[in-house]
């Protein structure tokens, strides 16, 4: 109990020191309609680019008080109840330096977690993390890790995009380039106007083992291929992600599998995930 109080106090102190004192304002708000028995986890201030500017605790009744840099913010409150998280999203709030603002009260609504949803809802936003397979067909030297991210993305896009699932590219390469082009456009150095405003993904398709080396989703052996992907509900600094798994796919071969054999296994795993998604 003492440790829990100490952590709550630490979070509160951190929340009030994230923003630069010279540019910070304060915001007070509340999460309403929290059911009896849920555990308030905290609140995030998120701007139009999806950047988290401050975090802090929620009181037992759903109230919060944050110091955040000047700008326009949406306040995302989170509470836990078993496998079903509750989320509250405020209307955008303009915060001025040294000023105080009140965020409109926002009701808590229960999310459909990946673990409980038979299908993702229309309008769900999905990203595909890096997916490789550990190639152990050659025993001389360290294994290689061929990348199948594009194959997985293409398969899932073809299966689910027409059913209302939105896919976003959250790779470091794309995001970095898009930010660069957006900056060039803003400074008038790009012929075609471009403003990068990424939307926040809700679900991530990724290797089932988050601690795998080189994002490996399985192993290419001399006589079999194994692979397993999962759909993870977006986690945050305030709540743990949840995941939906399909059974580990293990396909035996009478001879050493070649490139076409490998792609065949990847396609099979992709279709198993797609049936869970859409």
Give the whole-number percent of the chain exceeding pLDDT 70: 82
**Domain limits of the chain?**
2-110, 125-277
With residues binned 3-state (H G I as helix, E B as strand, rest as coil), the percentages for the chain, rounded to 5, are: 25, 35, 45
- 140 has a pLDDT exceeding 70: yes
* pLDDT for res 276: 85
pLDDT band of 76, cuts 50, 70, 90:
confident
Q: What is the mean pLDDT of residues 194-213?
A: 83
Which pTM value belongs to this model? 0.58
CA of residue 229 relative to chain centroid, distance = 15
Q: Please give the backbone phi and psi of residue 85, each rounded to the nearest 5 degrees, phi first.
A: -70, 155
pLDDT band of 209, cuts 50, 70, 90:
confident
Tokens of 259: 């490139």
Q: Is the dihedral of CA 215, 220, 221, 222 positive or negative?
A: negative
Render the burial of 100-127: b for 16+ CB within 10 Å, e for the rest.
eeebeebebeebbbbeebeebeeebbbb
pLDDT band of 22, cuts 50, 70, 90:
low
What's the rounded Cα separation, in Å, for the pair 139 and 224? 15
CATH topology of domain 2-110: Immunoglobulin-like (2.60.40)
- Measuring CA to CA, how many Å separate 218 from each of 65, 140, 142? 45, 19, 16
Q: What is the mean pLDDT of residues 236-260?
A: 74
């Amino acid at each position: 109990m003492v440790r829990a109080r100490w952590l709550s106090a630490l979070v509160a102190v951190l929340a009030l020191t994230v923003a630069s004192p010279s540019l910070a304002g304060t915001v007070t708000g509340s999460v309403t309609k929290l059911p009896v028995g849920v555990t308030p986890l905290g609140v995030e201030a998120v701007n139009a680019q999806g950047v988290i500017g401050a975090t802090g605790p929620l009181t037992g009744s759903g109230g919060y008080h944050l110091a955040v840099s000047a700008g326009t913010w949406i306040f995302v409150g989170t509470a836990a109840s078993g496998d079903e998280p509750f989320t509250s999203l405020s209307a955008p709030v303009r915060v001025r330096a040294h000023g105080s603002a009140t965020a409109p009260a926002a009701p808590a609504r229960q999310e459909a977690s990946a673990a409980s949803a038979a299908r993702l809802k229309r309008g769900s936003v999905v990203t595909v993390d890096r997916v490789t397979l550990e190639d152990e067909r050659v025993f001389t030297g360290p294994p290689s890790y061929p990348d199948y991210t594009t194959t997985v993305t293409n398969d899932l896009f073809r299966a689910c995009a027409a059913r209302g699932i939105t896919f976003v590219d959250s790779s470091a390469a794309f995001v970095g380039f898009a930010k660069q082009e957006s900056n060039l456009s803003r400074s008038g150095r790009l012929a075609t106007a471009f403003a990068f405003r990424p939307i926040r993904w809700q679900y991530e398709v990724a290797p089932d083992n988050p601690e795998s080396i080189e994002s490996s989703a399985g192993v290419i052996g001399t006589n079999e291929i194994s692979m397993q992907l999962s759909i993870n509900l977006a986690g945050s600094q305030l709540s743990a992600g949840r995941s939906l798994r399909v059974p580990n796919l293990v396909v035996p071969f009478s001879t050493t599998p070649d490139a076409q054999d490998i792609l065949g296994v990847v396609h099979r795993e992709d279709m198993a995930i797609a049936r869970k998604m859409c």
